[in-house]
A and B are shown apart, each in its own frame.
Chain A
Amino acid sequence: MAVRTEELLLNVGPQHPSTHGVFRLVVKLDGEIITDAQPVIGYLHRGTEKLAEDLTYTQIIPYTDRMDYLSAMTNNYVLCHAVETMMGIEVPERAEYLRVIVMELNRIASHLLWFGTYLLDLGAMSPFLYAMEEREKILDLFNELCGARITFNYMRVGGVKWDAPDGWIDKVRDFIPYMREQLDGYHKLVTGNEIFLRRLKGVGKYDAQTAIAYGLSGVNLRCTGVRRDVRKDEPYSIYDRFEFDVPVATEGDCYARYLLRMEEIRQSLRILEQAVAQFPKEGAVMAKVPRVIRPPAGETYVRIEAPRGELGCYIHSKGKDKPYRLKFRRPSFHNLQILPKLLIGENMANLVAILGGIDIVLGEVDC
């Protein structure tokens, strides 16, 4: 006799630890198999782009901190970079080095937090504690530099707000070997774990064609074998001075994404090592910029490589001190689109693994 089954509608979120923010997912289930998934976003929408129309460019910078709040440095940078591109401002060496150092530190901090929470999602408690400890060391460095742990408001059009205090660069230098050692420890602790492998290998798989068509970027794109990194392909700031690899995998599953993020920490450490070694002894940290920043009339669109992928900034200026239209291309927003496609046909237990593997920040999705 056949068992009578019926479709189950399950609401995940909006406030659920595994959604990493305020994100709702309406899932239809047939037994344990997902037959439909509808993401509902917008809970964190603050109208940043609308607010920006009434703010000067410098006033917008703290708002960018609050988009991808795990990587505020890259957000600061993309806005400053867009304005600098329009106005043709040349940023002093020392400021460029400081920018690269903080952006790479922030990339490591962001990947560490992802590592910790992802393992927590999968049911492993202790990696989270290790990762948070290391991340805290980076946040301490930031705190010393600009007085904030998360929302830095550090960069300005033409440079950075604060120069590195005495001994700060040495602290960054000391952090590099320490972090390398910890990273090896993570691999020993997690990477070969049988449960971990079973949860991730072959889960949430897609190919390069799909990834490109869906506009994925960052690790989500590189895990399918596409060697795309804005730092290499459209070098900005001083990234063309550093030697580093762009790690690529071909499997396109959650496990490949995990390995890539871990490898990116190592590559960021390589950049940091070179940046610290080349760091100019002295010099200005701000270019000479007009007191009131007015980019020329016209439009620009620039991108950078944020921890979560391609972060872009579009500005349409009318030659005023406030943007006529400002738009951020937030990688999480674009990356999250593929989620329903990945979930349909999957086992319910894989939902958390797949969602976590995309690595979203809701502040950025909703903007």
Chain B
Amino acid sequence: MSERDKAQPETTQDSRRSEQPVPEEATTSPAGGGEAPIPADKGGTPDAEGTPKTGGAPEAKAEGKTTARARAAAAARARAAAQGGAKTAKAEAAPEEPSPMQPVLDHIVHVITRELGDGVIEEAYINRLAKHVPTLVVKNERWHETARLLRDHPELAFDYLSVLVGIDHETHLEVYYHFDSYQKGHRLAVRVKADREQATVPSVTDIWPGADWPEREAYDLVGIRFAGHPNLKRILLPDDWVGHPLRKDYQPLDEGV
């Protein structure tokens, strides 16, 4: 109780700070918003700076699609990673000012590197599309110890798991977590990648008991195995269901055909 009361003013202040720049950025720089849809509306011409938004000419589907996707993803990542760095293509727009959440991210990265050494965090950036949430890409093999540190370290104290999303990226699978620290009042998103054929991610049910059903859901619908989960069974679909529907290559099994 008292702990929570102390944390309270900090919480509101912190979240206010993180909220503030969102509309500002949205109005001043078209980078986050309007840019993508407008040129694409005019019929899929690649826009001025050559951002590969659309796959160009309607060519052979499969290959064109995947490379366009990969390139779009790479572009998004590069955009997010280059916080503060001027974007050459968008010279007329003001260079993105550093995110107000940058110090929080730096601190989290610092604590993790100090406690667990290098080679844990593959990538760290501010996700401006998600209200400036600090985001980490954590190595699959090191995820469980990192998760424990995230909850137990007094400077991190991420005690609340808000969401767990399983995603099929076609090249690999991914789990997206969103954590809150009710004590410290900050947020963190974590992405953990897994191989598509042997999709295994360490379970965090022993750290956040609330991860139990979300992990079962991700197993059920996306087919990610959570190593160490006490009861990894299907939860929404029947036990005898074949396949994982949210995989991009899912084919429904119809016994009548």
Residues in A lying within 8 Å of B, measured CB to CB: 41-42, 45, 47, 49-50, 85-90, 208, 212-216, 225-228, 232-235, 250, 290-303, 310, 312, 314, 316, 318-319, 325, 327, 329, 333-334, 336-337, 366-367
Which B residues fall within an 8 A CB radius of A? Answer: 1, 4-5, 8, 11-12, 15-16, 18-19, 22-23, 25-27, 32-38, 40-41, 53-54, 69, 72-73, 75-76, 79-80, 127, 129-131, 133, 159-163, 165, 167-168, 176, 178, 182, 185, 189, 208-214, 217, 221, 234-238, 245-246
- Taking a contact as CB atoms under 8 Å apart, the answer to whether B41 and A235 are in contact is no
| Residues of B contacting A327 in the complex (Cβ-Cβ under 8 angstroms) | 163, 165
Nearest-CB distance from B184 to chain A (Å)?
13
Tell me which of A49, A296, A329, A366 contacts B163 (CB under 8 A): A329
| Bound CA–CA A303/B161 (angstroms) | 13
Q: Do B127 and A42 have beta carbons less than 8 Å apart?
A: no
Residues of B within 8 A of A295 (CB): 36-37, 129
- A49 / chain B contacts, CB cutoff of 8 Å: 221, 246
A88-B26, A233-B185, A333-B217 are known; give 6 further A-B pairs, CB within 8 A.
A41-B236, A214-B210, A215-B162, A225-B4, A325-B167, A334-B214
CB-CB < 8 A to A329: which residues of B? 162-163
Return 30 A-B CB contacts under 8 Å, by A number: A42-B236, A47-B245, A49-B221, A87-B37, A88-B25, A89-B26, A215-B161, A216-B210, A227-B4, A233-B11, A233-B185, A235-B15, A250-B1, A290-B41, A296-B33, A296-B129, A297-B36, A297-B53, A298-B76, A298-B80, A299-B130, A301-B163, A301-B176, A312-B162, A319-B36, A325-B165, A329-B162, A337-B209, A337-B213, A367-B236
A303 touches B129 (CB 8 A): no
Whether A312 and B12, one on each chain, are in contact in the complex, defined by CB atoms closer than 8 angstroms, is no
Cα(A250)–Cα(B5), bound, Å: 13
- The reply to whether B4 and A310 form a contact with Cβ atoms under 8 Å apart is no
- B163 contacts which chain A residues (CB < 8 A)? 301, 312, 314, 327, 329
